[in-house]
Amino acid sequence: MKKIIISNFKMNTTPSEMKTYSMALATKTSESKNQIIVCPPFTHLCVAKQFLDGSKVSLGAQNVSSEEKGAFTGEVSASMLKDLGVEYVIVGHSERRTKFKETDRLVNKKIKTALANGLKVILCIGEDLASRQAKQACAVVKKELDDALKGIYENELEGVIIAYEPIWAIGTGKTATLKDIQKMVELIRKEIAYLYSDKAGQQINVVYGGSIDIQNYKKIISLACLNGALIGGASLNVDNFAVIARENY
Ligand code: 13P
């Protein structure tokens, strides 16, 4: 089954390293049947574009401004990314929600701006440990989904990938169990069906992220309910990321 394999470099590596990485990834994944997306820092996008051109790998950014343009020092707009050949953008990552205080409202605005500019969105949602322990995980995920998708039309969902990333599993070496992932993916599909239609619930792409590595990737990504994975730490090693990206699931 064809899967979507996404890297998130976070704030790691340099543009020079991106050149070597891109060349290696393009070669190593030339036979892959999966959809591969790399999301390096903004500073790496030009070099990544140059060395991934003509390969199986698409380019994503890790963030985007909610504003179109203007006096917003330090921000990067959706049209700038689009012009560079970027196809995807990660929105609502828990690190942006917690460390940069991004609200559900801002996440919603970013999604609208990204879609309006022809970018596809990788929308991250997921509960923290306290919510899970308080048996509130489903409620948190549902609310994040509802708020993020306010005012987004069903025909726009084609441009949205939902990444379920439980915060307690990010960078901790603790993955959610297959049962937990399955349960949450089902909940996400059900919520999409409720908000839009049964067809939308079935068709929406849902990926999992949180401590996926070269040892555990196959059993997680092979889950029939999942469309792929969003990989942080393990994506920094191009050999490992290429193995995950070219696997037959
Ligand atoms: P890790 O794979 O390092 O746990 O990170 C997951 C993540 O946050 C991807 O967006």
112-132 pLDDT, tens digit each: 999 999 999 999 999 999 999
- Per residue in 134-150, pLDDT (tens digit) is 999 999 999 999 999 99
- Per residue in 155-167, pLDDT (tens digit) is 999 999 999 999 9
Ligand 1 neighbour 166 (Cβ under 6 A) = no
What span, in angstroms and rounded, lies between the C-alpha atoms of 13 and 231? 15
User: Tell me, what's the pLDDT at 102?
Assistant: 98
- Per residue in 165-190, pLDDT (tens digit) is 999 999 999 999 999 999 999 999 99
Pocket test for ligand 1, best of 211, 217, 235 (most atoms within 8 A of CB): 211
Residue 126 lies in domain: 4-246
Catalytic residues: 93, 165
What global pTM score does this model have?
A: 0.98
Ligand 1 neighbour 207 (Cβ under 6 A) = no
What span, in angstroms and rounded, lies between the C-alpha atoms of 181 and 125? 13
Cα of first residue to Cα of last residue in the chain, in angstroms, is 5
User: Tell me, what's the pLDDT at 247?
Assistant: 98
With vertex at residue 160, the alpha carbon angle to CA 162 and CA 80, rounded to the nearest 5 degrees, is 120
Query: Is the Cβ–Cβ distance between 175 and 212 less than 8 Å?
Result: yes
Helical axes 137-148 vs 178-195, angle rounded to 10°: 40
**Counted domains in the chain:** 1
The residue behind tokens 């330090």 is 74
Give the domain CATH number at 60: 3.20.20.70
How far is the CA of 61 from the CAs of 173, 197, 210, 214, in angstroms?
24, 29, 19, 23
Cβ-based neighbour number of residue 238 at 10 Å? 21
Cα-to-centroid distance, 171 and ligand 1 (Å): 6
- Pairing outcome for strands 120-125 and 205-209: unpaired
Question: Taking phi first (over 0 means left), then psi (-120 to 50 degrees means alpha), and beta for anything else, what does residue 64 get?
Answer: beta
Confidence of residue 32 (pLDDT cuts 50, 70, 90): very high
Pocket test for ligand 1, best of 6, 7, 10 (most atoms within 8 A of CB): 10
Cα-to-centroid distance, 236 and ligand 1 (Å): 11
Ligand 1 neighbour 61 (Cβ under 6 A) = no
